[in-house]
């Protein structure tokens, strides 16, 4: 269920660097962006938290001891399929992005990013959209030539409208914003989005963004 504008999402921070974790919690609280209801230093501790906490969103590190972010994401989404997970990434983690997308992560942001981008990522993901740091996308594009099997090119061509909507998705517009821009209903946008997922063979919106980049439908 989408939050009302006046509601703050509840959030769990999962990161093994205590100073980073505490600093981010302080900023999220001070800026009134989210209510941090739990913190964990590894995947094992995070999964234990889910036995009694029901967060709206999780900020998840990838490289952690005992249980890494990939395994923690897989187990968490088995327990709570509607849970929204944003990956906290360092440059150099690109090899994990495809796996995290397949597992169901909704967003990717750099640990070095500013609070404004973190706030936007949380906002967009809570609205049912996805979020990618532009810097991360640029790094991923550079790796396409050596990761040719990560995204499969399709033979079935997209319609002009589907291509138009895919471009808007890649530029971060919400369903409502796309509907307003194209003067069509949100329901029609959702239908086109479902068709895009089927035609591209992608499991989710982040995978469609990769698809669009590799097929040069958009450039950044």
d(CA 216, CA 158): 13
Among the candidates 144, 164, 180, a domain finishes at 144
Reported pTM: 0.70
Whether 181 maps to a domain, the answer reads yes
Residue 157, burial from CB neighbour count under 10 angstroms (0-12, 13-18, 19+): exposed
Domain end marker among 93, 115, 144: 144
71 occurs within a structural domain: yes
Average pLDDT, the chain: 83
Do residues 46 and 134 make contact, with C-beta atoms less than 8 angstroms apart?
no
Give the domain-ending residue among 110, 144, 178.
144
pLDDT of residue 203: 76
Number of Cα atoms under 13 Å in the Cβ half of residue 129: 22
Q: How far apart are the first and last CA of the chain?
A: 32
Q: Specify if 2 maps to a domain.
A: no
pLDDT in tens, 201-210: 887 777 787 7
Q: pLDDT for 45-104, tens place per residue?
A: 999 999 999 999 999 998 888 899 999 999 999 999 999 999 988 756 566 777 887 888
Task: Look at residue 93 in the predicted model and tell me its pLDDT.
Answer: 59
User: Is 114 in the same domain as 176?
Assistant: no
CA 13-18-23 angle, 5° bins = 70
Q: Quick one: 173 and 189 in the same domain?
A: yes
Same domain, 81 and 100: yes
27-31, 110-114, 128-132, 137-141: range with lowest mean pLDDT = 137-141
Is the pLDDT at 152 greater than 60? The verdict is no
What tens digit of pLDDT does each residue of 178-198 get?
A: 999 999 999 999 999 888 988
Say what the pLDDT of residue 1 is.
39
pLDDT of residue 140 exceeding 60, the answer is yes
Residue 25 per-residue DSSP state: H
What length does the chain have? 220
The confidence score (pLDDT) of residue 213 equals: 76
Number of domains in the chain: 2
CATH number, domain with residue 52: 3.40.50.2300
pLDDT of residue 74: 94
**Domain around 209:** 151-214
Give the confidence band of 41 by pLDDT, cuts at 50, 70, 90: very high
Q: Which residue has the higher pLDDT, 214 or 53?
A: 53
Q: Are 14 and 37 in contact (CB under 8 A)?
A: no
């Amino acid at each position: 269920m989408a939050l009302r504008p006046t509601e703050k999402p509840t959030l769990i921070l999962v990161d093994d660097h205590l100073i980073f974790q505490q600093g981010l919690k302080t900023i999220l609280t001070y800026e009134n962006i989210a209510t941090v209801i739990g913190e964990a230093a590894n995947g094992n501790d995070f999964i234990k938290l889910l036995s009694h906490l029901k967060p709206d969103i999780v900020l998840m590190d990838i490289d952690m001891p005992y249980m890494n972010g990939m395994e923690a994401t897989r187990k968490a989404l088995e327990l709570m399929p509607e849970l929204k997970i944003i990956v906290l990434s360092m440059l150099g983690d690109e090899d994990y992005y495809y796996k995290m997308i397949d597992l169901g992560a909704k967003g990717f942001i750099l640990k070095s990013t500013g609070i404004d981008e973190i706030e936007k990522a949380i906002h967009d993901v809570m609205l049912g959209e996805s979020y990618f740091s532009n810097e991360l996308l640029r790094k991923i594009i550079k790796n396409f030539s050596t990761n040719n099997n990560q995204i499969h090119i399709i033979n079935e061509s997209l319609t002009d409208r589907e291509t138009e909507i895919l471009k808007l998705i890649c530029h971060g517009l919400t369903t409502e914003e796309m509907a307003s821009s194209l003067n069509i209903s949100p329901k029609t946008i959702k239908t086109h989005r479902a068709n895009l997922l089927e035609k591209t063979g992608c499991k989710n919106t982040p995978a469609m963004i990769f698809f669009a980049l590799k097929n040069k439908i958009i450039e950044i």
